[in-house]
Structure 1
């Protein structure tokens, strides 16, 4: 079986490749010659994942899956949410996004947050959705060099490290994307 993972994010691709069994050949957008920006114009995380998966199926004809992930912060009524990647602007700069978020939480006591990943699979002209959530809190400063996005300021519940301080196997075993990918893999294996 081969599937396209509809992402241009090499960090996400690396994380997901570590979780997909070897009998599934994972193709990147580059592998199928897709170099354009896939639209992400929906108002929900689920909507963006669906839009990306449908785009690849319609324009390239491949069975595929796409994900969208958002960081939802309680004290900010779920923001940045679907706008997580562009929170501080269209440049999609992780440090700018983290700095903006930390500034907005500066005088707030409630730092509870969750990462939410939704994966939409387009397979044999059917669509399946898989959701992974990881609850935790936003730290007051950045910690760690690993990971990407908001990882240096997100500490999962029950751990004393941020995602950026964890090795990839630990992050994948407890994280939102790992949980969603495991549901996807279980479905593909059934």
Structure 2
């Protein structure tokens, strides 16, 4: 099956391709099709908006995700606005903005959430969700990953997501968990 990955984020494309490599699907980048503005109120709505738009316009199967970081002390911020938090333009600027907002907070609990939508051109939609709980640091560590990865230490770990290899991160990440559920639903059945 040929699947268009409906994102402009190269980091997400790498993670999705790596996670789904065992399915034998041809993963294609988004080319020549516009992504709609994320106007949904939930991760599910935003991912469906992207995947369904690409599936219908391109007459192809499309995969999209929406994900974000939810910080307890900030009432769930940045949430669905993680990629444009505080109107900042880069991962570094958004991370610094988050650290500034966290100043003085002792509760550093947070979780990453990801919803992956697989949309078919006939209108069928499949949804898969993954979460990763953890703690925010007071400053970044690590060179890998993207977004808030350098600030986030998953429960049970001592390293940030940015200090892990892609394979290590994929094995535990919120997106990895959502993609694993998708992969399990599409794995060839034997017996």
TM-score of the pair, normalised by structure 1: 0.94
Counterpart in 2 of 1:11?
11
Q: Does 1:128 align with 2:136?
A: no
| Alpha-carbon distance between aligned partners in 1 of 2:27 and 2:117, rounded to the nearest angstrom | 15
Q: Which runs of 5+ in 1 are unaligned?
A: none
Give matches, 1:40-189, under 5 Å. 40-89=38-87, 91=89, 93-123=90-120, 124-189=122-187
User: Which segments of structure 1 move beyond 3 Å, counting only runs of 4 or more?
Assistant: none
Q: How many residues align?
A: 186
Q: CA deviation at 1:19?
A: 1.2
CA root-mean-square deviation: 1.3
Q: CA deviation at 1:125?
A: 3.0
1:56-112: per-residue Cα shift (whole Å, max 9, x none)?
A: 122111111110001000001100000000002163x11111111111111111000
Question: In the alignment, does 2:24 pair up with 1:27?
Answer: no
**Whole-angstrom distance in 2 between the partners of 1:94 and 1:187:** 33
Secondary structure, counterpart of 2:95 in structure 1 = helix
Q: Residues 23 and 187 of structure 2 are in contact (CA less than 8 Å); yes or no, is this contact kept in structure 1? A: no
